[in-house]
Structure 1
Amino acid sequence: MADRIRPALHRVLTVVTMCGVLAAAASGCSASDGEDTAAPARSSAAPSTAAAPRANAGGAVVLPEPGISFDYQIGGAYPPPPGVRAVSRDRAAKPTPGLYNICYVNAFQAQPDATDWWQAHHPDLLLRSGGAMVVDRDWQEALLDISTAAKREQLAGIVGEWIDGCAAAGFQAVEADNLDSHERSEGLLTADHDLAFGKLLVDRAHAGGLAIGQKNAAGLARQGRSLGFDFAVAEECGQYDECGAYADAYDDRVFVIEYKAEGLAAACKSWGKRLSVVLRDRNVVPAGDGAYRRRTC
């Protein structure tokens, strides 16, 4: 949904392991369940083009279990709350041994602080209208230009190296953010462009032994599944009554993140016994931060 508020997606240059600093007991929600109003923070890592070995190349792809207890930690890693069996973290973070680990990659748009890197190294791969970059104004993310097969191949090489890095780090899966980028493209991209690029990412992930999740774009759930996406990561599908589209397409292998209490209530009422549902603060900050919030059904 084009007007949906998405959370801040933090990119970390130097990852400081939170284990031993934050108590594992920092689970549950904070005292406040009100809506977050603070502007989201962004960090400044530029994409790396250094090739990463495919530690899992040729290995069997492992799918997540439907309804598995889940935590969303893309804004900073911390010890998972008790009972959590799957966690999603930024690609710069480390996976948690013994859990099903999902690696977050912003595949269709540029992180705000990485725009200069793209401008310096691949200016032709940024989507432009009349010479100006097309930007997701909600989060100041420049859209990547996936409008031609040649550009999609180039971008798949760059993003593919990030995916390889996820495999080498020991993640079991990757979530490719912004399959719905065409909705913010000023009409320059189509759903078919997004799906064509998604297929390249699916192939790269599977070649590295990783499962791959479709991120958002409920209207493309069936097409995404037919391309080979293995599960879905859905922001606010309870809030917008979209969970069913993902559940039907992915046999309940759906990780739901809500940011409002009413969205959590809706998701839990209809899908709490079938899907993996969690409420997080919009900035998805680590436990121990005063803005931290987490609840489940």
Structure 2
Amino acid sequence: MNRRRVPRLCLLFAALLVAGCSGGAPPEPDGGRWQPRPGTAWQWQLDGRADPSAADVPVYDVDGFENGADDVARLHRDGRRVICYINAGAWERFRPDQADFPVSVRGRPNGWDGERWLDIRRLDVLRPLMEKRFDMCREKGFDAVEPDLLDAHLNDTGFPLTAAHQLAYNRMIARIAHDRGLSVGLKNDLPQVAELVGDFDFAVNEECAQYGECAKLTPFIAAGKAVFHVEYALPNRDFCAESRRLGLSSMRKRLELDAWRRPC
């Protein structure tokens, strides 16, 4: 894959930007969408409704189905931006729209109870289903979307997926969000960061430190876009120094993603 190198001057600029980005409102990109800056502190809670008292941070990333407009409004009253988590890469048996996904697009189990990979080649089928989910996020008042499982091509899905299929699908997801005035994050999919950094407003990453891959996210930092990062197994002492050097917004979380957090 043709990879793009980040110029040293860009990285220097990103480092200077990070040094002054711990507070204050982030600038808005063209079109008025929210643009989280590198170093922005965050909370990630997908276990039930958001607990606004769990963390004094400017960004909350919460489950889009389990949190209502009142939950989002409460977080907004506290001066927080709110990200809507939805699964864009797997069918989920426990969601209210599960019957809308044809059996033909449901692949192999992905390791989580009640979930199966989606056939992301079927843009014609999945686009309207994702549009409905993003409409839900917009109607509840969310500022952005975290679409999960945007790296199906790296997994055993039951479908012959390629990197090209993933790029087409991920770009479709980004357009759906932007058409609704929502910011959108690239979830994992590190091999395609260079190709997709221009399409997404921030990144969300799991365990890049454990696998020695955090430097692959520097194109987002160089572009002035936040990288929201978590580790599950590593203690903070093993990844926070590098996270600060790179400008990531890092913390340790439990795998169940409840309210507990240990930030860098």
Structure 1 length normalisation: TM-score? 0.68
| Residues in 2 aligned to 1:162 and 1:100: alpha-carbon distance in whole angstroms | 19
Please name the residue that 1:137 is paired with: 111
Say whether 1:79 aligns with 2:52: yes
Please name the residue that 2:226 is paired with: 253
Alpha-carbon offset, residue 220 of structure 1: 1.4
1:231 to 202, 227, 230: 202
How has the CA–CA distance of structure 1 residues 103 and 121 changed in structure 2, closer, same or farther, with 3 Å as cutoff? closer
Structure 2: unaligned runs, 5 residues or longer: 1-29
Contact persistence 1:135–1:141 (CA under 8 A): yes
Structure 1: unaligned runs, 5 residues or longer: 1-57, 128-133, 287-292
1:280 to 231, 253, 259: 253
Please name the residue that 1:184 is paired with: 156
Alpha-carbon offset, residue 104 of structure 1: 0.4
Return the letter of the residue paired with 2:157: S
Please name the residue that 1:15 is paired with: none
How has the CA–CA distance of structure 1 residues 80 and 192 changed in structure 2, closer, same or farther, with 3 Å as cutoff? farther
Moved >6 Å (runs of 4+): none
Say whether 1:111 aligns with 2:102: no
Return the letter of the residue paired with 1:61: R
* Matches for 1:97-246 after TM superposition, within 5 Å: 97=76, 98-114=79-95, 117-118=98-99, 122-127=102-107, 134-147=108-121, 151-182=122-153, 183-186=155-158, 188-226=160-198, 228-246=199-217
Alpha-carbon offset, residue 115 of structure 1: 10
* SS of residue in 1 equivalent to 2:39: coil
Return the letter of the residue paired with 2:130: V
Contact persistence 1:232–1:250 (CA under 8 A): no
Return the letter of the residue paired with 1:210: L
* SS of residue in 1 equivalent to 2:98: helix
Please name the residue that 2:238 is paired with: 266
- Write the deviation string for residues 216-274 of structure 1: whole angstroms up to 9, x where unpaired: 11111112214x11111001112112221112244351000111233x33331111252
Q: CA RMSD in A?
A: 2.3
- Write the deviation string for residues 84-108 of structure 1: whole angstroms up to 9, x where unpaired: 1111000021321121211101001
Contact persistence 2:93–2:115 (CA under 8 A): yes
Give the helix-richer structure, 1 or 2.
2
Identity among equivalent positions (%) equals 31
Please name the residue that 1:289 is paired with: none
Alpha-carbon offset, residue 157 of structure 1: 0.9
How has the CA–CA distance of structure 1 residues 71 and 203 changed in structure 2, closer, same or farther, with 3 Å as cutoff? same
Return the letter of the residue paired with 1:145: D
Please name the residue that 1:294 is paired with: 261
| Residues in 2 aligned to 1:152 and 1:116: alpha-carbon distance in whole angstroms | 17
* SS of residue in 2 equivalent to 1:67: coil
- Write the deviation string for residues 169-203 of structure 1: whole angstroms up to 9, x where unpaired: 11111111111112232462122212211111111
Return the letter of the residue paired with 2:146: E
How has the CA–CA distance of structure 1 residues 89 and 115 changed in structure 2, closer, same or farther, with 3 Å as cutoff? closer
Contact persistence 1:247–1:253 (CA under 8 A): no
Return the letter of the residue paired with 2:86: V
Return the letter of the residue paired with 1:244: A
Alpha-carbon offset, residue 284 of structure 1: 1.1
Contact persistence 2:92–2:98 (CA under 8 A): no
* SS of residue in 2 equivalent to 1:261: coil
